[in-house]
């Protein structure tokens, strides 16, 4: 069974930092490019960052570039999101999601975690 | 930056067909996909590569993509289809773009 389990979400003060982690099982992690996608309360889905299957390239939403860093460890089947200088607008449920690099779903996110809530507030 | 535009909401009567549009500049030149998201649940891929359904997705869900518009169609709509629907594509090959989402209400 494919499983993606995010962790690390919590209440953090504005200006603070937080590291989210997503551990996976049930599939070959190195076959998947991974991304973080968030949904703020009452808002739509927003792509945050992505990383290739072997970790050699990372991509970021333009509005978040410089504050967030995505990384992965294929030996541990984990993908992380380091979030710095957090703002109230970063309050959201953060999902990790995967794209099969073999092209099975033509670069669509066919696997998703259940999400972890990040609240930025004083 | 590339944008995808969806109507905020649509409504349909049970058993009828509903179409949800997603507009973007020359969207038909890219692959579009669609996700269904219900409150408290993770998004589910329902359409990829413009019109293909992953295994387990009912045939009631179909889609097309041409010109500037991708369209998701749900036929014989059921109460369980009430959800938010998001279109998505890639811009420049490295940036993911989601539409704003459409709330489907089954009246």
Per-residue pLDDT band at A104 (split at 50, 70, 90): confident
Q: What is the pLDDT of residues A12-41, one digit of tens each?
A: 999 999 999 999 999 999 999 999 999 999
Residue A70, pLDDT above cutoff 80 = yes
Number of Cβ within a 10 Å radius of residue B100: 18
Residue A64, pLDDT above cutoff 90 = no
Q: How high is the pLDDT of residue A103?
A: 85
Instruction: Judge whether B35 is closer than 8 Å to chain A, CB to CB.
Output: yes
Instruction: Judge whether B2 is closer than 8 Å to chain A, CB to CB.
Output: no
Q: How high is the pLDDT of residue B94?
A: 86
Residue A3, pLDDT above cutoff 80 = yes
Q: Residue ranges of chain B with pLDDT lower than 70?
A: none
Instruction: Judge whether B44 is closer than 8 Å to chain A, CB to CB.
Output: yes
Residue A65, pLDDT above cutoff 90 = no
Q: How high is the pLDDT of residue A13?
A: 97
A95: nearest Cα among A2, A1, A6 = A6
B89: nearest Cα among B38, B44, B47, B36 = B47
Q: How high is the pLDDT of residue A72?
A: 98
CA A1 to chain centre: 20
Angular region, A107: left φ>0, alpha ψ -120 to 50, beta rest: left
CB < 8 Å to A115, chain B: 42
Interface of B with A in 52-71 (CB under 8 A): 52, 54
Q: What is the pLDDT of residues A35-62, one digit of tens each?
A: 999 999 999 999 999 999 999 999 999 9
Q: How high is the pLDDT of residue A44?
A: 97
């Amino acid at each position: 069974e494919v499983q993606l389990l995010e962790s690390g979400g919590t209440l953090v003060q504005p200006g603070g930092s937080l590291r989210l982690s997503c551990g996976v099982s049930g599939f070959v992690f190195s076959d998947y490019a991974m991304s973080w996608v968030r949904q703020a309360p009452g808002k739509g889905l927003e792509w945050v960052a992505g990383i290739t299957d072997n970790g050699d390239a990372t991509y970021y939403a333009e509005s978040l570039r410089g504050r967030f860093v995505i990384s992965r460890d294929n030996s541990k089947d984990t993908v992380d999101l380091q979030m710095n200088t957090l703002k109230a607008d970063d309050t959201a449920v953060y999902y990790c999601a995967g794209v099969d690099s073999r092209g099975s779903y033509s670069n669509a996110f066919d696997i998703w975690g259940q999400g972890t809530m990040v609240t930025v507030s004083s | 930056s590339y944008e995808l535009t969806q109507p905020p909401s649509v409504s349909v009567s049970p058993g009828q067909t509903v179409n949800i549009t997603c507009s973007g500049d020359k969207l038909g030149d890219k692959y579009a996909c669609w996700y269904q998201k219900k409150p408290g649940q993770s998004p589910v891929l329902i359409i990829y590569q413009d019109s293909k359904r992953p295994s387990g997705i009912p045939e009631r869900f179909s889609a097309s993509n041409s010109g500037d518009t991708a369209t998701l169609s749900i036929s014989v709509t059921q109460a369980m289809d009430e959800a938010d629907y998001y279109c998505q594509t890639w811009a420049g090959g490295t940036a993911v773009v989601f539409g704003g989402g459409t709330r489907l209400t089954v009246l």
